[in-house]
């Protein structure tokens, strides 16, 4: 007979091993899933995980997909460290994209030069921060639940962008399609590798990871947030401001999500549509937890999650599977991660049956 026995203290080894266990179980679950769908498991594995990165263009697409995930995840990780649960990065990404697009369209057919792109970056980050400030204000003023408020604001943001691309931002020459004009060259991010879509936003993501690492592990504010997340009573006794941590946690997540939104409209999309995000804000939550809120881990976890997106597209094209297959793999990864995390605080013990 088996039973779960509480550990005297949390296992540091299991905290790093459990994501690897979850990834391994996800791969096994994927083979079973392909077989259940009547596909050759090995062929499905090759199409889903190998074909997307078999050439330079595929690798560039992997980095392109990973960019908004890195940006969102590092912002969320700052707040999660202090138990500030921002679940609305998806909405903050959308509002950041709206703000950046407004700048691009305002300077349409004008000689704005490099200032347009700089203003778009600032507007995108500020837009995301503004949207995140709503749950921060309600939390600090009325003690509302930031999980519910930030999540509900996602749907408000989706309705807002739908209204804008069907109305004020609609392309007048676009035959009533819900999309804006295509941005001009000054409003587009420079391409890093010729012949690919990988753009300057990838360097923004790497810089954000570096800044996030310094903040979380080399600054006093980051130390305060780590203490608050691990021992809330100790943080209160030390006089650390809970209100300040809430604002830092939510605004950092909002700012990075808004920058991710800007990178999408000024990057591969080149315009804004009502489908501006591919659920990157929600997927970034999984990335942050798989990475254990560590910036280095976020880099690799973002690559894994980006591969799931690309694999879903390949499976749809070559295996005739629905596009939602990518979401199934994301769900399996999260489910197996939560299951594996049990062993951080518990261990399995054998015991003899009592007659």
| Coil, strand or helix at 216 | helix
Mean pLDDT of all residues in 138-162: 96
Cα angle at 113 between 110 and 115, to 5 degrees?
A: 105
The whole-chain average pLDDT of the chain stands at 93
In this structure, what are the phi and psi dihedrals at residue 198, rounded to the nearest 5 degrees? -65, 125
Going by C-alpha positions, the residue among 339, 346, 182 that lies closest to residue 273 is 182
Please count the other Cβ atoms lying within 10 Å of the Cβ belonging to residue 32. 11
Of 110-114, 239-243, 338-342, give the lowest mean pLDDT range: 110-114
pTM beyond cutoff 0.75: yes
Cα angle at 156 between 155 and 160, to 5 degrees?
A: 115
The reported pLDDT for the residue numbered 40 is: 94
The reported pLDDT for the residue numbered 353 is: 54
Q: Domain ranges in the chain? A: 72-192+199-290
* Banded model confidence at residue 12, pLDDT cuts 50, 70, 90: confident
Q: What is the largest CA-CA distance in the chain?
A: 86
pLDDT tens across 261-275, in order? 999 999 999 999 999
Q: Residue 57 corresponds to which tokens in the numbers above?
A: 């263009």
For residues 188 and 270, the answer to whether their CB atoms sit within 8 Å is yes
Residues of the chain above pLDDT 70, percent:
98
Mean pLDDT of all residues in 46-67: 95
pLDDT tens across 179-223, in order? 999 999 999 999 999 999 999 999 999 999 999 999 999 999 989
The reported pLDDT for the residue numbered 114 is: 78
Answer whether residue 354 shows pLDDT above 70. Answer: no
The reported pLDDT for the residue numbered 59 is: 96
Please count the other Cβ atoms lying within 10 Å of the Cβ belonging to residue 53. 18
Mean pLDDT of all residues in 25-45: 94
Q: Residue 156 corresponds to which tokens in the numbers above?
A: 């408000």
Rounded Cα–Cα distance for residues 179 and 171 (Å): 6
The reported pLDDT for the residue numbered 265 is: 97
**What does the buried/exposed string (b/e) look like for 260-295 if buried means 16 or more CB atoms within 10 Å of the residue's CB?**
bbbbbbbbbbbbbbbebbbebbbbbbbbbbbbebbb
């Amino acid at each position: 007979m088996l039973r779960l026995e509480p550990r005297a203290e949390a296992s540091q080894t299991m905290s790093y091993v459990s994501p690897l266990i979850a990834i391994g179980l996800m791969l096994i679950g994927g083979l079973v899933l392909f077989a259940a769908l009547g596909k050759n498991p090995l062929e499905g594995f090759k199409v889903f995980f190998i074909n997307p990165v078999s050439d330079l263009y595929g690798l560039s697409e992997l980095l392109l997909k990973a960019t908004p995930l890195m940006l969102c995840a590092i912002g969320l990780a700052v707040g999660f460290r202090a138990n500030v649960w921002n679940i609305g990065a998806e909405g903050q990404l959308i509002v950041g994209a709206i703000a950046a697009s407004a700048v691009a369209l305002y300077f349409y057919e004008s000689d704005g030069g490099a200032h347009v792109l700089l203003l778009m970056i600032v507007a995108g980050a500020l837009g995301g921060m503004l949207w995140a400030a709503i749950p921060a204000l309600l939390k600090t003023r009325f003690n509302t639940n930031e999980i519910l408020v930030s999540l509900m604001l996602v749907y408000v943001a989706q309705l807002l962008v739908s209204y804008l691309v069907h109305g004020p931002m609609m392309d007048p020459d676009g035959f009533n399609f819900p999309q804006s004009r295509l941005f001009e060259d000054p409003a587009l991010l420079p391409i890093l590798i010729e012949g690919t879509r990988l753009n300057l936003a990838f360097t923004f993501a790497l810089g954000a990871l570096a800044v996030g690492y310094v903040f979380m592990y080399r600054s006093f504010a980051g130390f305060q947030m780590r203490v608050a997340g691990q021992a809330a009573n100790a943080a209160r006794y030390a006089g650390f401001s809970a209100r300040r941590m809430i604002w830092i946690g939510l605004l950092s997540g909002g700012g990075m999500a808004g920058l991710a939104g800007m990178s999408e409209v000024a990057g591969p999309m080149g315009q804004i549509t009502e489908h501006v995000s591919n659920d990157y804000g929600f997927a970034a939550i999984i990335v942050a937890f798989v990475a254990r809120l560590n910036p280095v881990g976020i880099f690799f976890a973002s690559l894994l999650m980006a591969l799931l997106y690309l694999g879903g597209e390949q499976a749809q094209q070559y295996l005739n599977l629905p596009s939602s297959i990518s979401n199934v793999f994301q769900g399996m990864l999260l489910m197996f991660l939560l299951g594996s995390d049990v062993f951080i605080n518990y261990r399995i013990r054998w015991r003899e049956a009592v007659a």
